[in-house]
Amino acid sequence: MNGLKTVLLLSALTALLMALGYTFGGAKGAVIAFVVAAGMNVFSYWNSDKVVLRMHDAREVDATSAPDFYAMVAELAKRADLPMPKVYIIDSPHPNAFATGRDPEHAAVAATTGLLNMLTRDEVAGVMAHELGHVKNRDTLVMTVVATVAGAISMLANFGLFFRSGDNRGNALATILAVIVAPIAAMIVQMAISRTREFGADKAGAEISGNPMALASALAKISRGAQAIPNPVSERMPAAAQLYIVPTHISQMFSTHPATERRIEALQDIAAEMGAAPAARRRSALDPLG
């Protein structure tokens, strides 16, 4: 159901982009808008992970430089039946984590030192299982496409007054509405897609770690810390907020994530369902990690 909803919302976002192009340039404008979006998506497909990691000054770690953390991710990736992703640590007191990469074979997961220091081992495992859930569900690609198309809509709206065709030059009202309404509509669709994917990653993370309440506890701690400790990256680039396991701003109305309380409630429901499962399936996320 979440997959179908994402496809429909992505289709709506693409249609919005083409409608905006048509408003400014007729049929030719719609085609140009589509081609521009496609070109941006091709670039993002190949380079988004590098851009995101560089933006956060993330450093890659391995079994030698961060043995416990690396082993944890390796065990969780094995449980999720995923290739081993690249593992990064970000030197920042702000507690958060994210996944990136165009597909499971080229994925990377990252966590800040603030998150690693704030959470227990079980909670860290829950968070990294959530990020691997994004990888397993291919959300990293979906959200890259969404962010790119939404960015193209905003860019086109900003320059729309300069690219109108002669046939549309007299339709000032349509232009004004397009410039104002299109970016807002794109933001709403982007938020709807992102929120859907977060619930899906929470569920996948609970299944991968086998410990949904550890993830719920982590979300509560990260949410409090994320509001109290500044994040310079998201302050410079608000669009980066959709990457993180917990958003870095307070307003729920404009958040790319569901309310943390709702996510915790959903994880509590999952924990109750898992409570009826055999004890072997309810072991701690870290039991096999020694």
- Tens digits of per-residue pLDDT, 252-275? 444 667 889 999 999 999 999 988
Say how far apart CA 290 and CA 286 lie, in whole Å: 7
Is the sign of the CA dihedral 265, 266, 271, 276 positive or negative? Answer: positive
Provide the pLDDT for residue 251.
47
Which residue did the predictor score with more confidence, 68 or 250? 68
Provide the pLDDT for residue 6.
59
Cα torsion for 87, 92, 94, 95, to the nearest 10°?
30
Q: What pTM was computed for the model?
A: 0.76
Residue 197 has pLDDT above 80, yes or no: yes
In 10 A of CB 117, how many CB atoms? 10
The tokens for 46 are 């190949």
Confidence band of 282 (pLDDT split at 50, 70, 90): very low
Is the sign of the CA dihedral 227, 239, 259, 218 positive or negative? Answer: negative
Helix (H), strand (E), coil (C) string for the chain: CHHHHHHHHHHHHHHHHHHHHHHHHHHHHHHHHHHHHHHHHHHHHHHHHHHHHHHCCCEEECCCCCHHHHHHHHHHHHHCCCCCCEEEEECCCCCCEEEECCCHHHCEEEEEHHHHHHCCHHHHHHHHHHHHHHHHCCHHHHHHHHHHHHHHHHHHHHHHHHCCCHHHCCCHHHHHHHHHHHHHHHHHHHHHHHHHHHHHHHHHHHHHHCCHHHHHHHHHHHHHHHHHCCCHHHHHCHHHHHHCCCCCCCCCCCCCCCCHHHHHHHHHHHHHHHCCCCHHHHCCCCHHHC
Provide the pLDDT for residue 244.
87
Parent domain of 257: 2-289
Query: Which of 50-64, 155-169, 213-227 comes out lowest in average pLDDT?
Result: 155-169
In order of 249, 251, 255, 259, the CA distances from 120 in angstroms are: 24, 28, 27, 23
* 68-123 tens-digit pLDDT: 999 999 999 999 999 999 999 999 999 999 999 988 999 999 999 999 999 999 99
Residue 203 has pLDDT above 70, yes or no: yes
Average pLDDT on 11-20 reads: 76
Average pLDDT on 221-249 reads: 77
Most confident among 91-95, 165-169, 185-189 (mean pLDDT): 91-95
Burial track 269-278 (b if 16+ CB lie within 10 A, e otherwise) = ebbeebeeee
Q: Which residues are catalytic?
A: 131
Q: Judging by DSSP bridges, how do beta strands 97-100 and 86-90 pair with one another?
A: unpaired
Domain count, the chain: 1
Average pLDDT on 29-51 reads: 77
In 10 A of CB 154, how many CB atoms? 17
Residue 5 has pLDDT above 80, yes or no: no
